[in-house]
Amino acid sequence: MSARAWRQASRIVLRSARSGSEEDAFAAVVAAMPPAGHAVLNADESAIAAPGALVREYARALSTLKALRAANVTATLRPYQVHGVSWLLQKVDAGQGGVLADEMGLGKTLQVIAVLATRQPQSLQLVVCPTSLLANWRREIQHFAPGLNVLEYHGPDRRLPARPEPRTVVVTSYALLRSDEAVRSRHWDVAVFDEAQQLKNTDTQVTRAASALPSTSRIALTGTPVENDLDELWSILSVTNPGALGARGRFRQRFVNPIRQRRSASAAATLATVVAPHLLRRRKADVAQDLPPRIDATVVCTLSPEQVALYREAVERAFSAGLGSGFGRSGRVLALLTELKQICNHPALEAGEPALEPGRSGKFDRTCEMLGEVVADGERALVFTQYRRTGELLSSGLASALRIDAVPFLHGGLAPAQRDELIRAFQEDDHASPLLILSLRAAGFGLNLTRASNVVHFDRWWNPAVEEQATARAHRIGQRRTLNVYKLVTEGTVEDYIDRMHQEKQGLAELISGDPTAALTKLPDRELREVLDLRMRP
């Protein structure tokens, strides 16, 4: 659209309605426009090329904003997020599906929660996610949409109510989608598939279960709709929009083979046109003006059964043996805290094993998922840990899980020349590892690592000031991209307790502003055990 046509359309939309938040609605329409001269795989891209269609887009944005206010969504959505909610609602209201494929950090979870909150369905709504994200989804829904009821369907005592409360969202795992008849046989209003790369292979049981799930609409969320092959895109869309890309064999003949074998630009352009009505993709570079320079998020991870058993055994053993008093007690409490934190990271650390295996730690599995998306998007990330041994095993574990030649670890034991070379390579070498693991204390000062657009705090120092110093290695002058900061916390553990104290700014003041470890050693046994006991959700 030319500048003149755009100004004409602007005047029309501003005259078209005089209610609601007009500036926000108009900003949402602008956010839907692709950048000049930039090809974007974006739904309805051509629909706003004419003033009349622009008016309709504006009216939809106004309607969406009113619906969000009515649903008591407790978040201020940015314009591109309003457009995303509007786009999803059009699909859901029409009984269709869609893929929200925004890059990680742009708020896919919030957008889909807003959609669920505006619905008034007769049947339950469903969110399917990796097991490590169950707690995170429950908390996000409770925080951003307090008017919704959340049921976490997991564990041996799980049960779906025969007569659920109105506006109930069930959160469950891909494992149960595959194996639980109660999930697979029930009719759902909106079924959401988070981390939908889980559905990239159409021949797996979980993808077949998702495709057969009775539902009014299916929404897939993924930052990497194509990780390795275009067949993955076909598989995901076969769940959300069956038949949209035609038969699998025809899709391969028409798109996969020409693009893979001949790099056919015409086939790629045609595919983008075919996919556009069903997939919405925004990149950080396209909507950076709508983002703050930094986005912080606490990622709540679910303990594996092995971690639960080890955590409880460690607490019970310590208090049964007695912590004593005086200086000796402080040492024993410190040892217990270290043991619990190692268990929260990965059972292999507690057992002294040589490798971090997947499937045994919710935190490690979630880290692999997040960093896999970072690498797939061509971005870079810093991973902070306070433990030397954790950093060493993360280095080999991430390299193996993500199929990277090597993931370097910067720690206090390196010679200055080694340290300088790691920093130089990360900042300047395009062929260097996109990930850098750092000891929290060794990397707290004097480093400039602005090439990273993501920071992951794998384990928590518990002192916000120390974590801020580490994060500032990337969040400083010279950083040109939005920085996403992820702080990993295991649900129900001492990590969770301290994180809540930081967020709520209340209780045990020393845990917030001073040395939390020293403060914990001073607590009486009864109060200390209340902090350390595992508080699993009933």
Q: What is the CATH number of the domain that holds 233?
A: 3.40.50.10810
Instruction: Map residue 228 onto helix, strand or coil.
Output: coil
Position 4 in a domain: no
**Residue 46: burial class (beta carbons within 10 Å; 0-12, 13-18, 19+):** exposed
- Return phi, psi of residue 453, to 5°: -110, 5
Which residues face 457 on adjacent strands? 384, 487
pLDDT 10s per residue in the chain (538 long)? 444 555 555 555 555 544 456 667 767 666 666 543 333 333 333 334 455 666 777 778 888 888 888 999 998 888 888 889 999 999 999 999 999 998 877 889 999 999 999 998 888 999 999 887 888 899 899 999 999 999 999 988 899 988 888 899 999 999 999 999 999 999 999 999 999 989 999 999 999 999 999 999 999 999 878 876 889 999 999 999 999 999 999 999 999 888 878 888 888 888 888 999 999 998 776 775 555 578 889 999 999 999 999 999 999 999 988 888 877 888 899 899 999 999 999 999 988 999 999 999 999 999 999 999 999 999 999 999 999 999 999 999 999 999 999 999 999 888 878 888 998 999 999 999 999 999 987 776 557 888 999 999 999 877 776 787 788 788 775 677 889 999 999 999 999 888 877 765 433 333 333 456 667 778 888 888 988 999 876 4
List alpha helices for 104-189, DSSP H. Answer: 108-118, 134-144, 174-179, 181-185
Q: What is the distance between the alpha carbons of residues 40 and 48, in angstroms, rounded to a whole number? A: 14
Same domain, 344 and 264: no
Q: Which two tokens stand for residue 531?
A: 């902090």
Same domain, 268 and 339: no
Q: What is the distance between the alpha carbons of residues 228 and 80, in angstroms, rounded to a whole number? A: 27
- Domain end among 256, 285, 314: 285
In CATH, what number is assigned to the domain containing residue 468?
3.40.50.300
- Domain end among 265, 285, 305: 285
Position 73 in a domain: no
Position 16 in a domain: no
Q: What is the distance between the alpha carbons of residues 312 and 323, in angstroms, rounded to a whole number? A: 16
Same domain, 119 and 259: yes
Same domain, 228 and 307: no
Position 34 in a domain: no
Position 164 in a domain: yes
Same domain, 234 and 323: no
Same domain, 257 and 117: yes
Same domain, 202 and 343: no
Position 11 in a domain: no
Dmax (CA) for the chain in angstroms is 79
Position 13 in a domain: no
Q: What is the distance between the alpha carbons of residues 534 and 511, in angstroms, rounded to a whole number? A: 19
Position 60 in a domain: no
Other beta carbons within 10 angstroms of residue 497's beta carbon come to 18
Q: Which two tokens stand for residue 383?
A: 């991973």
**Residue 7: burial class (beta carbons within 10 Å; 0-12, 13-18, 19+):** exposed
Same domain, 112 and 261: yes
What contacts 537, CB < 8 A, 6 or more positions away?
135, 152, 491, 492
Same domain, 420 and 474: yes
Cα end-to-end span (Å), the chain? 56
C-alpha distances (whole Å) from 532 to each of 301, 461, 528 are 17, 16, 6
What contacts 318, CB < 8 A, 6 or more positions away?
332, 336
Domain that holds residue 113: 78-285
- Domain end among 260, 285, 310: 285
Same domain, 466 and 318: yes
Q: What is the distance between the alpha carbons of residues 297 and 279, in angstroms, rounded to a whole number? A: 25
Same domain, 238 and 305: no
pTM, full prediction: 0.73
Is there a contact between 98 and 91 (Cβ–Cβ < 8 Å)? yes
Domains of the chain: total: 2
- Which amino acid makes up residue 467? E
- Which amino acid makes up residue 87? W
Same domain, 272 and 306: no
